[in-house]
Amino acid sequence: MNTVVGALAEQALTLREKEGDRLRPAARDAFVDWLAVTLGGSTRPITSALLDGLGPGDGPSRVIGRGVLVATPMAALVNGAAAHVLELDDIYSPGLFHPGAPVVAAALAVAEQRDATFGQLLRAVVVGYEVGCRLAVDLGPTHYAHWHTTGTAGAVAAAAAAADLRDADAATFAHALALAATTAGGVQQTFRSDAGGKPLHAGAAAQAGVVAAAAAAGGVTGAGDVLEGPAGFAAATGTTTDWAASRGADRPLAIERVTVKPFACCGHAIAPIDRVARLRAEGVLAAEVDELVVETYSTAIATAGIRTPRTAAERNFSIPFLTAAALAVGAEQMFGDAVVDDALVQGMTARVRLAPDAAFDARFPARRGARVTAVLADGQRRIVDVPDRPGSPERPLGADRLAEKFAVTAAPVLGDRARALHATLQGLDADTTVRSLDLGAAPVSVR
């Protein structure tokens, strides 16, 4: 099939045959990080809303953190949304894409449905990341201007993971990707306002991928040129691309190049927060700062530049608030409820100025940096500059910090058991069945 989805399917099958085992450690890391943020997200209202509103019924796939078994597409939907709600899930920077939330949610749901092994699950994660991240790179900034790539490329990525677990041949695999593409969605306006629907982009993508792979396995065909055709996905979403990544350009494998988030907020704010934390560590006090100038790439300002955030959702997309809080109370305390009404944080927020920088723009989206200048009351200027945000492939988080993230994020569900589960997952045998895994709550069938 000489189409973009055909090329992606060929990439997936080649990867499945030649690279899956070698990439298993990276896939394990991605799965473990996904599990932590999904356990944490399972306590949030969106998880209850989906379960209560849809009435989950019965099925073979678990809802993480809730101890219930539901239909496979339903599990993908709920777990995908839970994985994205904390704003802590991983990022593939070159594609402006959160791969883990939709890919792992779909892979886990189908793995449990098909009684797959942990090794097979990890292989599907590798394949899903690669397909989704290649597509996300091709969609790029022109697509991201109005569309949420996690909802769009995420559906195709989830279909790839689900199709891999079904051992789909090349033609069936391509049909699964095409069907996922035509059911994908998610617009930027949802998270540029006070709305709670952003996590549904990841959940709906996971669900769409599961359904698309099942439909293709049953014989439903997709339009081969659904992505590049004159009335196809790129044209419909205003996307300009040459499809070089999807068609086989030589590039580092995606699963080894993800960013693991250290802060629970929009990823565009991570580099500025990191630089402000550095200033605080060097003794700069918020009360002594007349102005805080944050220079970064333009997309960060457009997406996360809310000047006066009124809600928790808006605060997560407000570099002025987040940097002010990081300077006033510290990065470890900046997400506490008390920070919202803190007079020092409010005053500092008003003194933050955002400015686009051509050098950072030129390196975007693959590299995400920032420069922060604190203008002090006595006229001194303290400047800190960083080319890459923490958690990126260029500045990876260490093993201790990753373990701590798991323990803290999963604690609302697991409490003191979180550290033990993290250690268990590190040594888990690939032949272990997914259904037998302890993922934080014993599954109970819902009728």
CATH no. for 267-386: 3.30.1330.120
Which of 66-80, 305-319, 396-410 is least confident?
Answer: 305-319
* The residue type at 158: A
- Looking at the structure, give the CATH architecture of the domain made up of residues 4-256: Orthogonal Bundle (1.10)
Average pLDDT over residues 72-94: 97
Q: How confident is the model at residue 447 (pLDDT cuts 50, 70, 90)?
A: very low
- Residue 393 contacts residue 384 (beta carbons within 8 Å): no
pLDDT in tens, 222-245: 999 999 999 999 999 999 999 999
Cβ neighbours for 182, distance < 8 A, ≥ 6 positions apart: 222, 223, 226, 233
Cβ neighbours for 107, distance < 8 A, ≥ 6 positions apart: 121, 124, 125, 128, 158, 161, 162, 165
What gap in Å lies between CA 203 and CA 150, rounded to an integer? 10
* 324 vs 192, more confident: 324
**pLDDT for residue 377:** 94
Checking if the pLDDT of 359 tops 80, the result is yes
pLDDT in tens, 100-150: 999 999 999 999 999 999 999 999 999 999 999 999 999 999 999 999 999
Q: For residue 426, give both structure tokens.
A: 């590190």
DSSP-assigned beta bridge partners for residue 289: 376
**pLDDT for residue 174:** 98
Provide the residue count of the chain. 447
What gap in Å lies between CA 133 and CA 156, rounded to an integer? 10
Checking if the pLDDT of 193 tops 80, the result is no
**pLDDT for residue 250:** 83
Q: How confident is the model at residue 446 (pLDDT cuts 50, 70, 90)?
A: very low
The β-bridge relationship of strands 289-296 and 381-386 is unpaired
pLDDT in tens, 263-281: 999 999 999 999 999 999 9
- Residue 375 contacts residue 289 (beta carbons within 8 Å): yes
H-only helix segments in 114-240: 118-144, 149-165, 170-182, 198-217, 233-236
pLDDT in tens, 331-356: 888 888 889 889 999 999 999 999 99
Q: How confident is the model at residue 442 (pLDDT cuts 50, 70, 90)?
A: low
Average pLDDT over residues 59-63: 96
Q: For residue 32, give both structure tokens.
A: 């473990």
Domain boundaries, the chain: 4-256, 267-386
The β-bridge relationship of strands 444-445 and 68-70 is parallel
Enclosing H/E stretch for 12: helix 4-18
The β-bridge relationship of strands 352-356 and 370-376 is unpaired
Q: How confident is the model at residue 55 (pLDDT cuts 50, 70, 90)?
A: confident
**pLDDT for residue 443:** 62
Q: How confident is the model at residue 195 (pLDDT cuts 50, 70, 90)?
A: confident
Average pLDDT over residues 150-157: 98
